[in-house]
Amino acid sequence: MAETRKLKAGIIGATGYTGIELVRLLVGHPDVEIALLTSRSYAGQPFSKVFPSFSGIVDLELSGNDHIHSRVEDIDVLFLALPHGLSAKMLQEISYRSRVVIDLGADFRLKNKLDYEVWYDLQHPFPKALKEAVYGLPERHREQIKKAKLIANPGCYATASELALLPLASAGLLQGPIVDAKSGVSGAGRSVNLDTLYNEVNENLKAYKVAGHRHTPEIEQELSEAAGQPIKITFTPHLIPMQRGILVTAYCPVPDGHNLDSVMALYKDFYEKEPFVRVLDIESAQTRFVRGSNYCDIALKEDTRTGRLIVTSALDNLIKGAAGQAIQNMNLACNLDERAGLAPVPQFL
Amino acid sequence: MAETRKLKAGIIGATGYTGIELVRLLVGHPDVEIALLTSRSYAGQPFSKVFPSFSGIVDLELSGNDHIHSRVEDIDVLFLALPHGLSAKMLQEISYRSRVVIDLGADFRLKNKLDYEVWYDLQHPFPKALKEAVYGLPERHREQIKKAKLIANPGCYATASELALLPLASAGLLQGPIVDAKSGVSGAGRSVNLDTLYNEVNENLKAYKVAGHRHTPEIEQELSEAAGQPIKITFTPHLIPMQRGILVTAYCPVPDGHNLDSVMALYKDFYEKEPFVRVLDIESAQTRFVRGSNYCDIALKEDTRTGRLIVTSALDNLIKGAAGQAIQNMNLACNLDERAGLAPVPQFL
Amino acid sequence: MAETRKLKAGIIGATGYTGIELVRLLVGHPDVEIALLTSRSYAGQPFSKVFPSFSGIVDLELSGNDHIHSRVEDIDVLFLALPHGLSAKMLQEISYRSRVVIDLGADFRLKNKLDYEVWYDLQHPFPKALKEAVYGLPERHREQIKKAKLIANPGCYATASELALLPLASAGLLQGPIVDAKSGVSGAGRSVNLDTLYNEVNENLKAYKVAGHRHTPEIEQELSEAAGQPIKITFTPHLIPMQRGILVTAYCPVPDGHNLDSVMALYKDFYEKEPFVRVLDIESAQTRFVRGSNYCDIALKEDTRTGRLIVTSALDNLIKGAAGQAIQNMNLACNLDERAGLAPVPQFL
Amino acid sequence: MAETRKLKAGIIGATGYTGIELVRLLVGHPDVEIALLTSRSYAGQPFSKVFPSFSGIVDLELSGNDHIHSRVEDIDVLFLALPHGLSAKMLQEISYRSRVVIDLGADFRLKNKLDYEVWYDLQHPFPKALKEAVYGLPERHREQIKKAKLIANPGCYATASELALLPLASAGLLQGPIVDAKSGVSGAGRSVNLDTLYNEVNENLKAYKVAGHRHTPEIEQELSEAAGQPIKITFTPHLIPMQRGILVTAYCPVPDGHNLDSVMALYKDFYEKEPFVRVLDIESAQTRFVRGSNYCDIALKEDTRTGRLIVTSALDNLIKGAAGQAIQNMNLACNLDERAGLAPVPQFL
């Protein structure tokens, strides 16, 4: 970017947890300025009035979502942080090919329109755009992302699950894994809901959407494509009384002819040049080791008694699982340093 | 018990979390009085000085662990809440056959001395007593418990895992399950340890003792015995930032010729008369639904896409996973109402 | 009560946190049976369907709030767990004098109708009943409660604050105290609200309703009446990321001629015969020492450098601050053992 | 600093929570490189082995604390993150005048050696250095800090309390305040201690060191000096179940002739040019509005009924209360941009 003008970024839906995190990270990005923030609920108020933590930092007034076409006219990068169904509708209202659009929702993640309609129980509002959309997992689709105009930012669970299993899948060594996933509550978003009240969540453990979570087909799509054959997974998410962080514990057979060392070598090799994936020699990935950062950490263990591999992966669901990965994608699509604006150091505490 | 004298109970190691919980529950037991509480660290102090919550309720002075033989002379029921290795040693010092002894530690859970020595890395201090010990899971060994003098109270993870899978195992329908377990921090005990400091645990998720946790052989022993053939499990515990509660998520193939309905019927039938196991028609067991109670709740789901059964079970690790189950065992061994002293209603919040 | 029939209890608004806690405690009450539970949101469903923790324990179907007059016909004790304004309206629809009614809301706490109208910004819906209502703090009004038909159960903050300061006020030794209060989130109730979402509350500290909280006039009313002269307080509540528990830290001048010892003696004397107030010789009251119990603990310290007394009091806001105190009041008004159904032992953890 | 060489920073005691946070912030500092990290417990291990969150970021090996003189030879800025008493001893072993030394402990905060000896119950190990030390609160002592070689970084509670009251004190308008302070657990440090175990802290509220906390004389020193007359405070810290954050609620009389507006104007004026203090028009400061940042937020309310002012201030105890303020002080003393390396945006969640 050098000394040229900064890119103008806009965020549609800036007052959800993902939106706030996008704002926070973009403030620190050297090549971008925030030019548009929208919100249905808070339109007309300064962003810093809604979130006093931004006082003196982001005092920009929130716009509404109407007349969106003209609002985004001079926006170079547009982030959509909307519920599924709404992103695709919004996209129809703007000429998305004249800028980079990154959708943090689910509308463009599944290549197969029928999968979308089955899992989301909704007719796809804008199927035409599906084939132009690139799935924004840089570790798999970096070259396509660089050329993309429409990027489907992966789901938080999906990112953690795919990164945990891609090295095996890509080597043709993955058999029907079980993915037991645990997430902090921020993944559930900021909409007002009995189920995410403090007293309903704190000091509680539960599984939810057992065998029916919408990130399942997304994970299968990416693993299958990497494997060159269909991979089916059992996926069980759990809600954990904490704010940020996802831990995935994935189980699959140790591939024939392999052991922990050889699989570990495979993983280290696969992620060797990745700026944001670390394969660590520790017993388990831990969410606190990645908190506040764009890293996804991976650890491996073998259960020699049963011949199973146990892969743990951890990420911050709001960063590598959402806003951070979106910025990584923006950096790639806009020809910026892939790491720009992505604070390097996790917060231990 | 009628109007006869109350049983005299003693607790060796009364100042750990399990010990405190035993005291709390025994205070409310109609047929028992607390006659002896010991502690290495706090000997000589009133129990209520160490734990002011018991002020005016249990002001009994804590004894030391020396001269234990004479201290326990008039004790009818003795609870050992000691680290493994120490219970077995303690037992040698007293004539345990003259009273009911319930060991909340691990020393008498494994029938096979070699298993103990492999998994606990310790020569068994008192192997002679092993064959007299009864494994204190009432749902499987009720009749033996009624006649027992030495009861090995099951581990917390073990209780949740066994209850989740026993109906299948007993019907010969269980194949190599994966048990992904999540526990609150009180399971780690009250010993002072960097790993259980608030700031190391809160807002963090990790697996630990992956493929190596000591409850593994205990679970395998009980499931194998029930199945009449060896069952091997993959067991992965996780530490969750909450105080009380274990949730087990177990995965295994849907047995041939079965579906969710038939397995559900099997479970309901198996636990029909159990006072403390509930098979619920909900998506997932939740720890808050059992908190503060002696219940273990179980829920079932089927992943028809992959042919797997997902069984969740939840219990309060300090109650059904420790002190409550110990009292249930005491009730059985002392010919009391099995439910006596076990508060019936979980605390929703 | 002896062996006569059990009292029939009804709870209007049984699905809020206070309602659930009332149900839980009443299940264990030897002299009461639950005969009526109502809910606007869940009418027609079994209580245990809404709260699976009660499965097999309270399967009673929830009624609506309409035709309330006939629903309560055979109810001996009626608990109103409704938002302010609604209790008073509800009371007009039933002939409350034919049973004991305990209102857990705010409508009958303030003797002075004008205070109600100023602080609650609402015309009092049923002022006629005000003079018949007894303020249900047993430590101050036990004899009146015994004869009451309509009992105004005190607020949670109010109970903790009044018990912390009543001994001084009653002795005429209290001067303009500052009450800095901290509460867990369950005090905010179960209504769905952005402010009590997990992610808005966890890992956060704030004061709220500074110098304007509605428990202020209630505390002043009771302290002034005890003192025989007007007492004004500064009251600041804070929201704390935890579920249950209130801690009050109250500041006032050490009375002339007094020191810590003499004030301590005054407190111990004042509460000597109280079953649910403990004056402890510890540095600070702690909420975990009273959790799950009906106790209010009090501790005293003196700042000799500045001549101030620091009184801390702790209670479980859902028990002594709400449902437990309501049952204590019911016991008194119905001539039962004052302690009946109030589990004696706090849960340390 | 321009393109000249980076300053070499060293941290003595790098494996406590303050040390980790210093490392994290310094990694992002444009003008500094980390050249020395020491630890008694982990000497010889790479920093990233002890804290895997720093894998690939800070792999530097931890040194011991012996032979410290030669270890620090080429260090330009030295941070001491040691328990009180040890910093002063360490300082005697090095020639501190040849570099900037910032002590994050308590040894050089109190100007009066006697105060130190009374409150810390310890003979001061190095009183000679006291008069050279500058108290590192930039909002009060910026000019002196710029010239200092030895900087006493203020305590976390002290920073929050002083910033809350300095505008009043400096204007001669402060009368005997009460400071009720609440802190997350990270303030208690990383040493292994029963009192900071997860289960002892979570879901609990307590005051501690009531009328005896060691930050008291520090706050009084600064307020008195600003006021030009002795100010005595009542200071009560409370432990809150959260990790980061301090909220101070301070009470004092509304000064004669003043009201909320005029006091607010005074505060805004006082902090107008401060980069890290924000006076906000909100009801209460909240710790989440400053989390992860170097800000201290302040809010004001008036209790017109009692004539009292209620000032709330919030900061992140590990940043503005420790590591961040230390870096701010380093920036000043080393003639760097005062904001360098201090991430601008608080983490809302």
* pLDDT tens, residue by residue, A104-118: 999 999 999 999 999
Report the residue of D206, D287, D317 to disrupt the C interface, i.e. the one with the largest count of C CBs within 10 Å.
Answer: D206
User: What is the token pair recorded at B233?
Assistant: 């499990």
Between chains, do D348 and A289 touch, taking CB under 8 Å as contact? no
Between chains, do B211 and A286 touch, taking CB under 8 Å as contact? no
> Which pLDDT tens digit goes with each residue over B231-277?
999 999 999 999 999 999 999 999 999 999 999 999 999 999 999 99
Of the candidates A268, A264, A312, A260, which has an alpha carbon nearest to the alpha carbon of residue A290?
A312
Predicted pLDDT at D266:
98
Across C310-334, average pLDDT: 98
Between chains, do A205 and B286 touch, taking CB under 8 Å as contact? yes
In order of A222, C67, C323, D111, D221, the CA distances from D229 in angstroms are 71, 69, 51, 16, 10
Catalytic residue among C156, C252, C296, C334: C156
- In DSSP terms, D80 is beta-bridged to D12, D103
Q: Does the interface predicted TM-score (ipTM) exceed 0.90?
A: yes
User: What is the token pair recorded at B181?
Assistant: 């377990």
Across D137-142, average pLDDT: 98
Predicted pLDDT at D97:
81
Which member of B20, B243, B345 has the closest CB to residue C57? B345
Q: What is the mean pLDDT of chain A?
A: 96
C94 or B195, greater pLDDT: B195
Confidence of residue C3 (pLDDT cuts 50, 70, 90): low
Strand (E) positions, chain D? 7-12, 32-38, 77-80, 100-103, 134-135, 150-152, 178-183, 206-207, 234-239, 246-253, 277-279, 296-303, 308-315
Confidence of residue B152 (pLDDT cuts 50, 70, 90): very high
CA angle D153, D158, D164 (to 5 degrees): 120
Between chains, do A192 and C192 touch, taking CB under 8 Å as contact? yes
Q: How far separated are the first and last CA of chain A, in Å rounded? A: 34
Non-local CB neighbours of D141 within 8 Å, separated by 6+ positions: D134, D135
- In DSSP terms, C315 is beta-bridged to C246, C296
Across D105-127, average pLDDT: 96
Question: Which amino acid belongs to residue B327?
Answer: I
Lowest mean pLDDT among B226-230, D255-259, D341-345: D341-345
- Collapsing DSSP to helix, strand or coil, B69 comes out as helix
Across A214-242, average pLDDT: 98
Contact A135, A141 (CB under 8 A): yes
- Collapsing DSSP to helix, strand or coil, B147 comes out as helix
Non-local CB neighbours of B168 within 8 Å, separated by 6+ positions: B174, B252, B255, B263, B266, B309
Predicted pLDDT at B3:
56
User: What is the token pair recorded at A185?
Assistant: 């509550």
Q: Is D349 on the interface with B (CB under 8 A)?
A: no
Predicted pLDDT at C344:
77
Q: Is D202 on the interface with B (CB under 8 A)?
A: yes
Confidence of residue C148 (pLDDT cuts 50, 70, 90): very high
Residue B348 has pLDDT above 90, yes or no: no
Task: Characterize B19-29 residue by residue with b for buried, 16 or more Cβ atoms within 10 angstroms of its Cβ, and e for exposed.
Answer: bbbbbbbbbbb
Residues of chain D neighbouring C236 (CB-CB closer than 8 A): 249, 310
CA distance linking residue D294 with residue D323, whole number of Å: 9
User: What is the token pair recorded at C31?
Assistant: 């002299």
What residue has token string 């019927």?
Answer: B265
> Which pLDDT tens digit goes with each residue over D175-232?
999 999 999 999 999 999 999 999 999 999 999 999 999 999 999 999 999 999 999 9
> Which pLDDT tens digit goes with each residue over D69-96?
999 999 999 999 999 999 999 999 987 7
> Number of residue pairs across C and D with CB atoms under 8 Å?
155
The interface residues of chain B toward chain C in range 25-84, judged by CB-CB distance below 8 A, are 27-28, 51-57
Between chains, do D203 and C184 touch, taking CB under 8 Å as contact? yes
CA angle A186, D22, D125 (to 5 degrees): 135
Between chains, do B349 and C21 touch, taking CB under 8 Å as contact? yes
B156 is a catalytic site residue: yes
Between chains, do C288 and D249 touch, taking CB under 8 Å as contact? no
Non-local CB neighbours of C114 within 8 Å, separated by 6+ positions: none
> Which pLDDT tens digit goes with each residue over B167-220?
999 999 999 999 999 999 999 999 999 999 999 999 999 999 999 999 999 999
- Collapsing DSSP to helix, strand or coil, D317 comes out as coil
Q: Which helix (H) or strand (E) holds A247?
A: strand A246-253
A42 to chain C, minimum CA–CA distance in Å? 14
For chain D, percent of residues with pLDDT exceeding 70? 99
CA distance linking residue D333 with residue D153, whole number of Å: 12
Non-local CB neighbours of B221 within 8 Å, separated by 6+ positions: B109, B110, B111, B112, B115, B135
Cα B9 from chain centroid (whole Å): 18
CA distance linking residue B267 with residue B261, whole number of Å: 10
Q: What is the CATH number of domain D157-315?
A: 3.30.360.10
From the candidate CATH numbers 3.30.360.10, 3.40.50.1470, 3.90.1640.20, 3.40.50.720, the one assigned to the domain spanning A156-317: 3.30.360.10
Across D46-51, average pLDDT: 98
Between chains, do D53 and A244 touch, taking CB under 8 Å as contact? no
Q: Helices then strands (H, E): number in chain D?
A: 11, 13
Q: How far separated are the first and last CA of chain B, in Å rounded? A: 34
Residues of chain B neighbouring C347 (CB-CB closer than 8 A): 24, 53, 292
Range C41-46, long-range pairs (CB < 8 A, 24+ positions): C41/C15, C42/C15
Contact C298, C163 (CB under 8 A): yes
Across A120-141, average pLDDT: 96
Contact C186, C243 (CB under 8 A): yes
Predicted pLDDT at A1:
42
Predicted pLDDT at B105:
97
What residue has token string 């209520």?
Answer: B48
Residues of chain D neighbouring C249 (CB-CB closer than 8 A): 180, 207, 236, 238
DSSP string across C246-304? EEEEEEEEPPTT--HHHHHHHHHHHTTT-SSEEE-SSSS-BGGGTTTSS-EEEEEEEET
Phi, psi angle pair for B305, to nearest 5°: -65, -30
Judged by phi (left if over 0) then psi (alpha if -120 to 50, else beta), residue A13 lies in left
Residues of chain B neighbouring D203 (CB-CB closer than 8 A): 243
Predicted pLDDT at D28:
95
Between chains, do A283 and B210 touch, taking CB under 8 Å as contact? yes
Strand (E) positions, A93-157? 100-103, 134-135, 150-152
Confidence of residue A3 (pLDDT cuts 50, 70, 90): low
Q: Is A194 on the interface with B (CB under 8 A)?
A: no
Which member of B206, B234, B310 has the closest CB to residue A303? B234
Q: What is the mean pLDDT of chain D?
A: 96
User: What is the token pair recorded at D104?
Assistant: 């994050």
Residues of chain D neighbouring B241 (CB-CB closer than 8 A): 198
Report the sign of the C-alpha dihedral through residues D333, D335, D338, D343, in that order. negative
Task: Count CA atoms within 13 Å of residue D230 on its CB side.
Answer: 4
For chain C, percent of residues with pLDDT exceeding 70? 99
Of the candidates B286, B265, B205, which has an alpha carbon nearest to the alpha carbon of residue B239?
B205
Question: Which amino acid belongs to residue B300?
Answer: L
Q: What is the mean pLDDT of chain C?
A: 96
Q: Which residue of D has its CA nearest to B186?
A: D199
DSSP string across B24-50? HHHHT-TTEEEEEEE-SSSTTSBHHHH
Residues of chain D neighbouring C314 (CB-CB closer than 8 A): 205
Predicted pLDDT at A105:
97
Which member of A206, A286, A349 has the closest CB to residue B199? A349
CA distance linking residue C148 with residue C9, whole number of Å: 16
Report the residue of D157, D204, D282 to disrupt the C interface, i.e. the one with the largest count of C CBs within 10 Å.
Answer: D204
User: What is the token pair recorded at A32?
Assistant: 């971008």
Judged by phi (left if over 0) then psi (alpha if -120 to 50, else beta), residue B341 lies in left
Q: Is A224 on the interface with B (CB under 8 A)?
A: no
Across C237-260, average pLDDT: 98
Q: Is B292 on the interface with A (CB under 8 A)?
A: no
Q: Is D316 on the interface with A (CB under 8 A)?
A: no
CATH 3.40.50.720 is right for the domain spanning D7-153+322-333: yes
A2 to chain C, minimum CA–CA distance in Å? 39
Which member of D243, D282, D347 has the closest CB to residue A349? D243
Q: What is the mean pLDDT of chain B?
A: 96
Residues of chain A neighbouring D54 (CB-CB closer than 8 A): 345-346
Residues of chain D neighbouring B202 (CB-CB closer than 8 A): 185, 198, 202, 242-243
Of the candidates C345, C333, C317, C341, which has an alpha carbon nearest to the alpha carbon of residue C154?
C317
Residues of chain C neighbouring B280 (CB-CB closer than 8 A): 52, 55
Across D30-43, average pLDDT: 97
Between chains, do B198 and D17 touch, taking CB under 8 Å as contact? no
Residue D324 has pLDDT above 90, yes or no: yes
CA distance linking residue A229 with residue A227, whole number of Å: 5
Q: Which helix (H) or strand (E) holds C61?
A: none
Residue D5 has pLDDT above 50, yes or no: yes
> Which pLDDT tens digit goes with each residue over C175-200?
999 999 999 999 999 999 999 999 99
- In DSSP terms, C91 is beta-bridged to none
Confidence of residue D4 (pLDDT cuts 50, 70, 90): confident
CATH 3.40.50.720 is right for the domain spanning C7-154+320-333: yes
Contact C168, C231 (CB under 8 A): no
- Collapsing DSSP to helix, strand or coil, A89 comes out as helix
Residues of chain D neighbouring A347 (CB-CB closer than 8 A): 24, 53, 292
Which member of C234, C241, C349 has the closest CB to residue D306? C234
Residue D1 has pLDDT above 70, yes or no: no
Report the sign of the C-alpha dihedral through residues C43, C45, C51, C53, in that order. positive
Q: Is D244 on the interface with A (CB under 8 A)?
A: yes
CA distance linking residue D38 with residue D72, whole number of Å: 11
Report the residue of B180, B220, B232, B239 to disrupt the A interface, i.e. the one with the largest count of A CBs within 10 Å.
Answer: B180
pTM, whole model, 2 decimals? 0.97
Predicted pLDDT at D182:
98
Question: Which amino acid belongs to residue A66?
Answer: D
DSSP string across A20-32? HHHHHHHHT-TTE
Cα D106 from chain centroid (whole Å): 10
Report the sign of the C-alpha dihedral through residues A252, A257, A260, A266, in that order. negative
Domain ranges of chain B: 7-154+320-333, 156-317
Which member of B197, B203, B241 has the closest CB to residue D197? B197
Residue B1 has pLDDT above 60, yes or no: no
Non-local CB neighbours of C107 within 8 Å, separated by 6+ positions: C84, C85, C87, C88, C91, C116, C124, C125, C126, C152
Contact B79, B14 (CB under 8 A): no
Residue C165 has pLDDT above 60, yes or no: yes
User: What is the token pair recorded at D265?
Assistant: 């104007």
Q: Is D288 on the interface with A (CB under 8 A)?
A: yes
Between chains, do A27 and D344 touch, taking CB under 8 Å as contact? yes
Strand (E) positions, A42-149? 77-80, 100-103, 134-135
Predicted pLDDT at A98:
85
> Number of residue pairs across A and C with CB atoms under 8 Å?
53
CA distance linking residue A329 with residue A325, whole number of Å: 6
Cα B234 from chain centroid (whole Å): 20
